Amino acid sequence: MFGSLPAEVSIYEVGPRDGLQNEATILSADRKIEMIEGLVDAGIKRIEVTSFVNPRWIPALADHMEVATRIRRKPGVTYSALVPNLRGLDAASRAGMQEIAVFMAASQTHNRKNINKTTEEALATYREVVTEARARGMTVRGYVSTVYGCPYEGEVPFEQVLRVGKSLLDMGCYELSLGDTIGVGTPRQVEYILDGLLHAGIRLDQLAVHFHDTRGTALANITVALQLGIRTVDSAIGGLGGCPYAPGASGNVSTEDVVYMLHGMGCRTGIDLDRLVAISARLGGHLARELPSKYLKAHLGHCARVGKPLV
């Protein structure tokens, strides 16, 4: 059953951006920098550090320039930031970002709610952004949200996913992150979507998966994706996250949950799980709430039973 699993999987950490953007408690820039540098020290090689969005829309990331310019950058690590437009690209460029990401939905209504544009308007904007970013020597990643369902429209036709995905690739994005924004996806849906994209000519190395664990199916969905050949998985430390424009969306699948499962199945990640869960435990304290990560809960319970320090 698991003979087709990859020997190595790339974790794309989205906690500092996608995770923190929806938190009630806003972390200081110092805390964010500590978090980012700790994740990299734990072995994370690809990490989204912030979003160059107008602070009025995402107050939790208003310190994007300070965070992006103050982090200690390690060679061999990809640091990325989300940008919504050319102004955001200029700010990211001044901050020394070498990779940016653009974000849009497969559903029309979510695009209107999230980025205040129709799908056509969003594609036109991002075509300018991606072209300019690449001219500046940046790589660009594309997020496609609401792939498995939209909070406003319900089921999203596959043709819309394909259209948006191919448009982002055609304009120059090197990778598509397929987002289950409200956590409605199931393993059979994952197979259907991925098979459809592959048969349409999109390569495996152009695809990544991004699951929210709203209904507890994220790890099962990831397993199916891996069996189909996917090698990149988005996740957030502690299971942080949620979308401000997607009612009912809970956090991203937890990085430590994914890493534990991958290591247990013999897939290498290069990540130190003990260091990862220590970061997650500290984050819960900083945010003054219990994080949804299941591995973290098990770790904290074990420490309490054996009298081991939590971090």
Contacts of 112 (CB under 8 A, 6+ apart): 118
Q: Residue 229: exposed, middle, or buried by beta-carbon count in 10 A (0-12, 13-18, 19+)?
A: middle
Assess whether 243 carries a catalytic annotation: yes
Of 150, 173, 243, 267, the active-site residue reads 243
Secondary structure of residue 60 in the 3-state scheme: helix
First vs last Cα of the chain: how many Å apart?
36
Amino acid 292 reads P
Distances (CA, A) of 274 to 73, 208, 260, 265, 298: 22, 25, 10, 17, 12
Contacts of 151 (CB under 8 A, 6+ apart): 110, 181, 182, 246, 247, 248, 249
Residue 101: how many other CB atoms lie within 10 Å: 25
Q: Are 278 and 308 in contact (CB under 8 A)?
A: no
State both tokens at 9: 């999987």
DSSP code, position 134: H
Q: Are 236 and 14 in contact (CB under 8 A)?
A: yes
Would you name the residues annotated as active-site residues? 243
